[in-house]
Amino acid sequence: MKEKYHRAITEEVLRPFFAPAALEEIIRANVGQDALRYQFGHDHFHYDNSAFRAGDAYLAEQRRQVIETLQQTGPVSVARAAFGRLTHSAQDFYAHSNYITLWRERNPDAAPEQIDPLLPEILADARLVSGRIYAPLEYFSFFSLFAPLVLPLLPRDSHAWMNKDDPSRPGFQEAYVAARKRTRLELEEIRRVLSPAQWQAWSK
């Protein structure tokens, strides 16, 4: 997903819960995952190349880091940064996999707002894949100037063809809503295990 949308989703979902400075720390860590050095060899950050197992493990690790840091009254900025990284990957899952396509197939007439971001039957569908990065050609597609030139040269299972990173891509609206709902669920899952004092320290 493009930085603009990671930022918009994270802000929209978390603004009611976090003080502005705390929220900014989370957003900075979220969009920091798309730094150029993390675009290569970091499939699990972005759920590229069908790295579902590694992506899920990465998410679990960030979740654990948030909770343990807060339970041990460690630095709240560490917990906020981990949550920012977590939300980035969770949001990219919908932009880079065919989850939206598989949901649409089951719900041809549903409004995007109705999407359930964690349907077990889709997560277990053997056809669930995410865009492959065809290096080095694929890297040119990250730049809008080159994208139209390399797109015809890349296979249909490539990241360039499959992504829902911005509104020009089919399925973007559904991916946006699913990413928003998932961000909210991730927050709730963590909040549930925190004491009021831990929550207060993290969010204010």
CA dist 95 to 37, 52, 69, 127, 194, Å? 20, 13, 29, 16, 30
Closer residue to Zn ion, CB minimum distance, 93 or 202:
93
Q: How far is the CB of 38 from Zn ion (least distance, A)?
A: 8
The yes or no reply on residue 96 touching Zn ion (CB under 5 A) is: no
Size of the site for Zn ion (CB under 5 A): 3
Question: Tokens for 156?
Answer: 């249909």
Closer residue to Zn ion, CB minimum distance, 25 or 34:
34
Closest-approach residue to Zn ion (CB): 46
HSE of 30, CA atoms in CB hemisphere, 13 A = 28
Closer residue to Zn ion, CB minimum distance, 163 or 198:
163
The yes or no reply on residue 46 touching Zn ion (CB under 5 A) is: yes
Q: At what angle do helices 52-71 and 76-96 cross, to 10 degrees?
A: 160
Among 48, 92, 165, 186, binds Zn ion (CB under 5 A): 92
Between CA 49 and CA 158 the distance in angstroms is 9
Instruction: Determine contact, residues 110/97, Cβ cutoff 8 Å.
Output: no
Q: How far is the CB of 29 from Zn ion (least distance, A)?
A: 12
Span interacting with Zn ion, options 31-39, 128-136, 166-174, 193-201, rule CB under 5 A: 31-39
Span interacting with Zn ion, options 8-16, 26-34, 129-137, 161-169, rule CB under 5 A: 26-34
Q: How far is the CB of 132 from Zn ion (least distance, A)?
A: 15
The yes or no reply on residue 174 touching Zn ion (CB under 5 A) is: no
| Selection from 3, 1, 7 nearest residue 24 by Cα | 7
Question: Tokens for 200?
Answer: 């207060």
Q: How far is the CB of 193 from Zn ion (least distance, A)?
A: 27
Instruction: Determine contact, residues 96/47, Cβ cutoff 8 Å.
Output: yes
Residues that bind Zn ion (CB under 5 A): 34, 46, 92
